[in-house]
Structures are given as structure tokens and as C-alpha cells.
Amino acid sequence: MKIFKQALRLLMVPALIFTLAACAGNTQAQQSTGGSPTPDGAPAELTTLIYGSGDYSAINPALYEHGEINSLLFLGLTAHDKDNNVVPGLASEWTWDSEAMAYTFTLRDGLTFHDGAPLTSADVKFTFEAIMDEANGSENISNYEDIVSIDTPDGKTVVFTLSAPNAAMPDYLTMGILPKNLLEGKDIVEDDFNRNPVGAGPYKFVAWDMGQSITMEKFDEFCLGKPKIDRIIFKIVEDYNARALQLKSGELDLAQVTPKDAEEFKSKEDFDLYAMDTADYRGIMYNFGNAFWQENPGLPAAFSYAVDREAIVRSVLLGQGQTAYSPMQKSEYSNSNIEKYDYSPETAKIEIEALGWTMGADGYYQKDGKQLAFAISARPSDQVRVDMANICVQNLQDIGVNASVEINERTDWSGQQAFLVGWGSPFDPDDHTFKVFGTDKSANYSSYSNARVDELLTQARSRFDKAERLPLYEEFQAELAKDPAYTFIAYIDAMYVTRKGITGITADTVLGHHGVGIFWNVWEWSK
């Protein structure tokens, strides 16, 4: 009897805890479905979309190309439609004068920035001169290196004079335009503007709770159409697992999740799953600036045979991806008649031995007393890349290469031997190609240098006719395959999960690097 009473007393405690927890859980659910409290305490009648986003330290499309949020806050002269074709943005039309080698853009009437200031050609000129100013260290500078001068004969006209024809220029002019009067004379890299951005995009910046969330409100004067959703909040949730959990709990309305978590949402009634094709690929980037590759040329090609891409797509991507052999596989300029380095460990070994390596007693290749060993660096925040790196390492270890993975928070671009890299663009073939693979270009982090590749890319970007560009890009891909800069691994589908009822997402659009691009028509979305 005594024991029974004691047991009863003991049971009261957990029972109490559970009841309290259940009540707390209920109130939390009520709060999140009703719409999160706004910074200014406005009533929750506003439609709000909460997107699970990565973190930002500064928002400025001119300097930093990675940033989904840029497409909400800014607009460029041109824009892309759902098939990634170039369409008018801030500019209503443009012409190309091949004699003068100049593009003339005409801006629409009545354009304004979010703060009401008029958007004129002076702002356009300011934006591109800022990008082209080397002192600002923009990642995008190589895209615009053909621009000789920018003239503004009047407030609505911008003339870009080029040193050579550039077919990709209209694509590059989707760059968000910055307000001159807010940034002129200031240090663009350090200015507070990057924490209080003002643009001409469909949503205007309202508040930024560092590390927590960025709140934006619709911009009624948006030139391409009045947005329907009143407010969009980018909630900073870097961890992919957390995003899945928050989608379920209702704290997020939309987020990109890992293939593993996406499986969960396939069967759920309240959610829509978009498995979107992307031009986003991953690969092993070899740092040719590192002495190891300079002393031992030819290894990247050999290693490319050793990687089991199918297994990677099956295991890490759960089938949501495609094996990669070229940086422009998803483009109409793709060349499939090139060396794809299909998985063949035997060929890899033959190639390595052809370079003069012999198998040592420890099970690894060695040459002149040095072991064939190198490290692939990866950042811990992206588990997909870490897993891919681990699999590549296992593949290489199996054939006698002492490869290893090095996990570093910060990437040592100049010192590292290899890196699990990602790039990709669904737009003009020049995009993410010229600036990545061209010698000394602004996004060439591998110090890759191939004279023929430079020649081909430079020629290809200066032609307009697809019939002329196609053979050049085809040869470029063949050359790149012969002298690999990367060991291409796979293209990754972007898995977006959204709460049922949110419409406007175009499921067939091919997205870009990091799955960016889903917000291309956000002003047409409704909840």
C-alpha cells in the first residue's frame, strides 16, 4: 500500500509535466498559424509568407552573387522568365548597334526605388561602374569586362559601349540596380546600405533581426506587377533538418530541404513538394595553385575515372540528381560527345601508373619516395558536400590513392589542395563559365589556366548567333574534358516544400546554383 502511494506520487510529476507541455504546445501552434507578430505590431490580416533561408551578413547584388533575397529586393534592366529567357525588367526595350558596338537600353516611365526616389539612367551607370571598380572586389566583375563606357544621354536611356560583342550581356544585366544617391561617394563594401538595402524589386526591406529573420513588405509600385502577398519573411534557418521540422510545425511556409527530408513530405496532404531541376552541380575542384598539382600534372583526369557518380546520386541525393560530366549539361549548348570519365577504377589505376606512380608496400601509390596523397576540403555546414567528399575519398582509397577529407569552417582558397565545389547557371552559357574557367577571372578559385579554353570562351561570348556559338561551346567542353579543372560529380535537384495553398511557383523552371531562382515571379504568388 505504501509503495502504491509512493508510485502514485511519483507518477503525478510526469503527468503534471506532460499536461503543461501539451498546453504550451497548443498555444505555440495557435501563434504560428495565426501569422507571426510583425515588427510594428500590425494586425495579422496581412498575408505572410515565411521562407526558411540561409544566413546573410550583407545584401548587395553587385558585390555578392550568392543570394536568393536579391531577387526580391532588387530588379535589373532585364529579367528572366520561367524558361530562363531574357525579358524586359526595368528596361522596356533594348537595341544592339553592331557598328558602334553598343547596347542601348530604354527605361520604363515612372520608375522609383522603394524609398520613392526616381530610378534613372544615372543609377544604372552608378551600379555598373561600382561593379567594375576593382577596389570593390566584386565577384561579378569578369562578367562586365567588355564594357568600355556607360553613357546616359538622358534620364531614361543607357548606352553600354563594349570592346567586343557580348551575347551574354543581356543576361548579365539582370543585375539589381543600386540607388546612386544612397551610395555615391561611400565605401560600398562597408556601408550600412548592405544592412538596409533599397532597390526596385517587388518587395521592400523593412527590418533585419541579425541571425534571426529579414522582413520585407510588398512594393505596390513594382513595375512588373503589384505583388499579392503582403509580407515575406526570410527566417534564418541554416540547418536543413530544422527546416523540415519547422515546415511541419507551421513556422515555415516554404523551404528548400534535403532529398532525405523531402521523402517525408511526399505523402503529406498539407504540403506540396517541388523536385526542381537545376543547373547546380558539384565537383572536386583541384587547386592548381598548390604545389602538389604543379609537380604532378595529369592526375585530375585519372581521378575522374575513380569516382562512382551513380552511387553518389543514389545514396547522397536519393536519386534526386544526375551524374555530371560537363558544366553546362542542362543547357542547349551541352555536348555529350566528350569524355565523361565513366566509373572505371581499373582505368583510373592504369592512368595513374602511366604517370609514373607505382604501388607501394603500404597499399598506396608512390613516386620518388612521395606517397600519392591529398586532401579534399569541405565546409561542415553542407552535409551533402561532406558526404560526397567522403564517398570520393573512399573511391580513391580503394584504388590506392591516400585521399582524405578535411573539414574547415573557413576555406583556405590559396593553400588547399582540393575543394568540394559547386557552380551552375541556367542562363547564357557564358554565365558561370567564363568567370570560373577563364585564366585569372573573378570566380576562378582554382587557378585553372588553359589557353585554348580562354580562346574558345572569349570567342563564344562575342558571337550572337547560336549556330556560331554552339561549335565553340562544344569544343570548350571537349577541351575541358581533356584537361579537367574539376572532377564533375553530379547535378542536384532542388527540393522545395511549401504549405498547400501557396500558388505561383513554376515547377518546370530550371534553377541555378544553390537552387536559387524560385522567386523569379514572386509578385505573382499568392497564399
Partner 1 sequence: MDSTKKPLLSAAVLGGIILACALANILAPGNAARMDFDALLAPPSAVYIFGTDQLGRDLFKMIIHGGRVSIFIGLLASLIAALIAMVYGTAAGLAPKFIDDLLMRFTELIMSVPSILYVVTIQAVLGKPTALSLSVVIGATSWMSIAKIVRAEVRQIHSSEYILSARLMGAKFRYTLWRHLLPNFMPSIMFMLIYNVSQAIAAEATLSFLGLGMPPGSVTWGSLMSLSQDALLTNSWWVIIIPSLFLIITLVCMTNIGEYLRKLLAGGKR
Interface residues with partner 1 (CB under 8 A) are 241, 244, 260-261, 263-264, 308, 311, 314-316, 380, 386-387, 390-391, 394, 397, 405, 407
Nearer to partner 1, 93 or 239 (CB): 239
Show the cell assigned to 337. 560527345
CA dist 184 and 178 (Å) reads 10
Quote the least distance from Cβ 394 to partner 1, whole Å: 6
Q: Select from 214, 223, 232, 134 the least CA-distant residue to 177.
A: 223
Quote the least distance from Cβ 263 to partner 1, whole Å: 7
- Pairing state between β 254-257 and 48-53: parallel
Three-state SS at 271: strand
DSSP labels, 231-265: EEEEEE---HHHHHHHHHHTS-SEEEE-HHHHHHH
Nearer to partner 1, 275 or 355 (CB): 275
Nearer to partner 1, 27 or 267 (CB): 267
Instruction: Answer for the pair 500, 270: CB distance below 8 angstroms, yes or no.
Output: yes
Nearer to partner 1, 260 or 463 (CB): 260
Quote the least distance from Cβ 312 to partner 1, whole Å: 8
Grid look-up 560530366 returns 325
Nearer to partner 1, 223 or 244 (CB): 244
Nearer to partner 1, 311 or 470 (CB): 311
Three-state SS at 106: strand
CA dist 109 and 100 (Å) reads 26
Grid look-up 501569422 returns 35
Quote the least distance from Cβ 303 to partner 1, whole Å: 18
CA dist 128 and 447 (Å) reads 26
Q: Select from 240, 247, 288, 251 the least CA-distant residue to 270.
A: 247
Quote the least distance from Cβ 318 to partner 1, whole Å: 8
Nearer to partner 1, 233 or 316 (CB): 316
Quote the least distance from Cβ 337 to partner 1, whole Å: 28
Q: At a CB cut-off of 8 Å and minimum separation 6, what does 29 contact?
A: 249, 250
Q: At a CB cut-off of 8 Å and minimum separation 6, what does 422 contact?
A: 280, 281, 282, 283, 385, 492, 513, 514
Quote the least distance from Cβ 249 to partner 1, whole Å: 13
